[in-house]
Amino acid sequence: MSVAKSLRSLPASSKHAYDYVIVGGGSAGCVMANRLSSNPNVRVALLETGLDDNTPLIRNPSGFFWTVPYSTTYNHRYSTTPQEHCNGRSLFQPRGRGIGGSSAINAMVYIRGLKYDFTNLWAGEGKCKGWEWENILPIFKKLECNDSLTNDPYHGTEGPLHVRTQAHIGPYSERIVKAGNELGWKSTKDFNGEDQSGVGYYQYTQTKGGRCSSGVAFLTPEVRARSNLDIFVDAHATKILTEGKRATGVNVVVSDSSDAANPVTFEARNDVILCGGAFNSPQLLLLSGIGPKDQLAKHGIDVVHELQGVGQNLQDHADICVNAKTWSISMPLQIGLTNLPNQIKHFFLGVFKDEGVFMGDNQMVGSFFKSRPDIPANDIQMHVAPFYYKDHGATLRYGGGITIKSCYMRPESRGTVLLKSTNPMDAPLIDPKYYDVPADFDPMVAAVRKSIELIKTKALAEDKLVVSGFDDKDVDNLTDSDIVEYLRQNTESIYHPVSTCKMGPASDPMAVVDHSNGLRVHGMEGLRVIDASVMPTVVSGNTNAPTMVIAQKAYNQMIGQDRVVDVTDDAAGL
C-alpha cells in the first residue's frame, strides 16, 4: 500500500498548488479525497495532522481499548472546560488523530439515525430542503457493503464501507436481549431499518476481522496510487489564506512544530475544504479571522469575514454508565484465570478465522427506546457490555460484571468551541454545557432507572449482579435527586460532537454553510466545511456513518449530481 508522505519531506516556506486542498483526513476528509481525485483532471491534496493508519493499533478492532483511553499518537485527547452542571469536572473528549480520524479509533458501531432527524429536524420548516430521509437513505445504501442484510430495501451491498454482523454472540449477550424483552423491548436484527426501536446486536464497520475506518474504505491502495492525489500526514494547518472574501490556500506546519514562521503553503485553485470535525474546523476558521466579531477581537485577530455561527451550537451526547459486578459469570472479555479457556478460544478464532472478541466480536447488546411515551421518536440509546469497565475503558474489573451506557440523543443544551489563544497548536476551548438546559436531566434519569431495571430482570437474576457506584443508597429506592447527583458526578461524553458550523439558509443568522451548494461557507468563495460540524442537530445515534454521507452528498452537490426527491408535507412523517 502506498504510504502517505510526511510534511517533513517538503522544504519550509515552499509553495504547492492544487485544485482542491482538504484539511483533515477523517471520516469526511477521506471520502472527499476519494471522490474529488476520481477526476484525473484535478489535483487534490489531503492534509492530516496525525500519522498514517498502517498500524495494528488502528487496523485491529481491539486497539480501541488502547487508542481511546491512553494513546497520544492517534488521539488528540481533548478535554472540556470545567462543566458547571457536572460538579465542575473537565470531561474527556477523545478525537482521532491520523488517517481515518475518529473512525480510526471509535467503537465502530454502525448507526444512521432516524428518519425523524433528517426529515423533521434538519429539513423541517424549509430549513435544509433536500436533506430529508428520502434523499439521505439512497446515499447510506450507496456507501454501504453489508455482509448479512442483503436484498434489503434499507441496505446496500456494493459500497466501500463494510458493515459486519458479529460472528460469535455469547450466551450471556443472548440473556441480556431476553432481559430487554422482559422490559417490553422487542427483539430486532436491524437498528437501521424501518423501525429503530428494540433490543438486539449492533453491526460494526469492519471487514475481514479488521476495522473499516473511512481511511480503509475510501483510501484503498488503488486510490492512494492515483497520480493526482497527494496525502500528507504530520501536517498541521495553521491558517486559511484569503484574498478579500475568497480562500486561496492554507499555511501548514509539521505537527510537533512550535515555529509557524516558515510554513509550507498549499494553494487551492478551486476550494479549501475543511474536514477537521466539530472542534478543529471552527478553530481554524476563527484563527483565520472568520467567525463572531467579538471572539476575534478578544484575541486581536483581524476580521476577514464576520460569521456569528462559527463555534456556536455545539451539541454532544452526554453518556451515563451504570455498572454491576458479580463473581458468577465468565465471558470472553472478563478478566480472571477462570476465563482463560475462553480467552484462548477467542485468540485462535482471531488467528485462524478473523473472528472472536479480539477481532471485534465484543458481544455488545444495544437498545433504542423512548424515555417517555408522549415524545415523537426514540431519545435514548443504550449499550450493554457483558463485562465491567469504567473511565472510557481505562478501568477493567478483575472478575465478572456488566456495563450499561446510556445517552440522551436529543439534548437541548448548546455549547461552544472557542479559541484558547492565537497559537494554532493549542487545543480549542470546548464547552458542551452539558445539562445547561435542566430538562436534559429528565431523560437521563429515566435511562438510569431503566438500566437498574434491566440488571434486576429474571433473565439476569442467577448472576446476583450488584449495582455499584451509588455508595450506600438503596438502588431500588433512589429518588430523582439521588440520580441527578449521580449524573452530575459520573456523566461523560460518548464522543458525538457536532453542529459548530451548522448548515442552513443564509436567512439563518447562525448558519455557517449553505446546505444546497456543497456546504460552501456563507459569504465566502473557495471555502467549504464538510464534516460533522455542519449537522443542524445531532442525529439519534452514532455520528460516524452520517458524517460520511454528508461528505458524499456535498460532493454530489459540487459536481451537479445531487438527485433530490421532492418530499411533500404528507411524506414528512417519522
Would the annotation count 107 as a binding residue? yes
Grid cell at residue 210: 479488521
CA distance 278 to 496: 9
Q: Tell me the pairing of strands 144-146 and 264-274.
A: unpaired
Would the annotation count 270 as a binding residue? no
CA distance 313 to 415: 6
Given the residues 85, 155, 496, 515, the one annotated as active site: 496
Check if 16 is active-site. no
Q: Cβ neighbours of residue 550 under 8 Å, at least 6 residues apart? A: 28, 519, 530, 531, 532, 534, 535
SS3 57: helix
Rounded alpha-carbon distances, angstroms, from residue 53 to 60, 102, 145, 318, 467: 11, 11, 21, 29, 39
Burial grade of 563 (CB within 10 A; 0-12, 13-18, 19 or more):
exposed
Would the annotation count 264 as a binding residue? no
Q: Which amino acid appears at position 59 of this protein?
A: R
Contact at 8 Å (CB) between 26 and 214?
yes
Contact at 8 Å (CB) between 309 and 108?
no
CA neighbor of 100 nearest in space, from 75, 72, 80? 75
Checking 503-509 for CB contacts under 8 A at 24+ apart, the result is: 503/128, 503/534, 503/535, 503/536, 504/127, 504/128, 504/536, 505/126, 505/127, 505/128, 508/127, 508/309, 509/308, 509/309
Angle between helices 544-558 and 133-143 (to 10 degrees): 100
Q: SS3 letters for 525-572?
A: ECEEECCHHHCCCCCCCCCHHHHHHHHHHHHHHHCCCCCCCCCCHHHC
Would the annotation count 120 as a binding residue? no
Evaluated on CA atoms 465, 467, 472, 475, the torsion sign reads negative
Binding-site residue numbers are: 106-109
Catalytic residues: 496
Binding-site residue numbers for FAD are: 106-109
